[in-house]
Amino acid sequence: MGGSDGAGADERSDTTRPYERDGEVTRLLFVCLGNICRSPTAEGVMRALVEQAGLQDSIELDSAGTGAWHVGNPPDARAVAAAGERGFELHGRARQIRREDFDDFDLMVAMDGENLRELRRLAPGRDEREKVRLLREFDPASGVGSEAPPSRPIASRVAGELDVPDPYYGAAGGFEEVLDLVHAACVGLLEQIRSGQAP
CATH number at residue 131: 3.40.50.2300
**Domain assignment present for 93:** yes
Give the Å distances, CA to CA, from 36 to 72, 78, 104, 112, 140.
10, 10, 21, 15, 26
**Domain assignment present for 16:** no
What global pTM score does this model have?
A: 0.82
Give the Å distances, CA to CA, from 186 to 28, 94, 99, 155, 189.
11, 20, 25, 14, 5
Tens of pLDDT, residues 96-111? 999 999 999 999 999 9
Beta carbons of 70 and 168 less than 8 angstroms apart: no
Using the predicted structure, report yes or no on whether residue 142 has a pLDDT greater than 50.
yes
Full domain range(s) for residue 49: 26-195
| pLDDT score for 9 | 33
How confident is residue 198, by pLDDT bands cut at 50, 70 and 90? confident
| pLDDT score for 144 | 55
**Domain assignment present for 59:** yes
| Active-site residue list | 32, 38, 166
**Domain assignment present for 74:** yes
The residue type found at 16 is: T
**Domain assignment present for 10:** no
**Domain assignment present for 153:** yes
Q: How many domains does the chain have?
A: 1
**Domain assignment present for 21:** no
Tens of pLDDT, residues 69-106? 999 999 999 999 999 999 999 999 999 999 999 999 99
